[in-house]
Structure 1
């Protein structure tokens, strides 16, 4: 059933990504209060690993990569990583080499390493 609607899902995803890109390019999240605020920061006063991602996305869309890194240092490396991950899902019949790289980049150990990186980033950004 899911295969039947694969292209519909892909088309809807492209439309939503385009709409989000337009919104984040046009409006600065730092200047508009209607963007969602981080509930973790509102409750604890601490920055979560995702805090600053909206401002960083706005900065990236305007070519300000230094500003984006300042807002959220994890967003820049995670964009290509997640793009590759979604790309693997689009391959219908992956060969053995592609499966090997998928396991290396998105397997159990890779996920544990990513969780550790996010946790260390969470601690370090709140210490400074």
Structure 2
């Protein structure tokens, strides 16, 4: 029950943060904003699950709330999927393919960088050079 409450509370914050970013008029194009949010989420999810436990003694309840709740609601696969469909439906094939490629390969790269940063922090904490 505690995990459920943690996920729900953090999900509210993550969803509200994503919505707040979409309301800022200076951010630019919706598609690239969603892509940026998702790429940031890939990095943060990898860092939170891999490195944060080595930095802070967080309980499983907190880690689940941060990863599943906060980051899970901050990123949005459903919006990404809908955006891709809209780009295809409006005959913007090049943009649709670019959107998918940047999201997929950028997401994997960001997750990799999050794990690498985590490993560097863990290595430093353990007294490595």
| TM superposition score normalised by structure 1 | 0.33
Q: Which of 1 and 2 has higher RCO (CA within 8 Å, sep 6+)?
A: 2
The structure where helix makes up a greater share of residues is 2
Larger Rg: 1
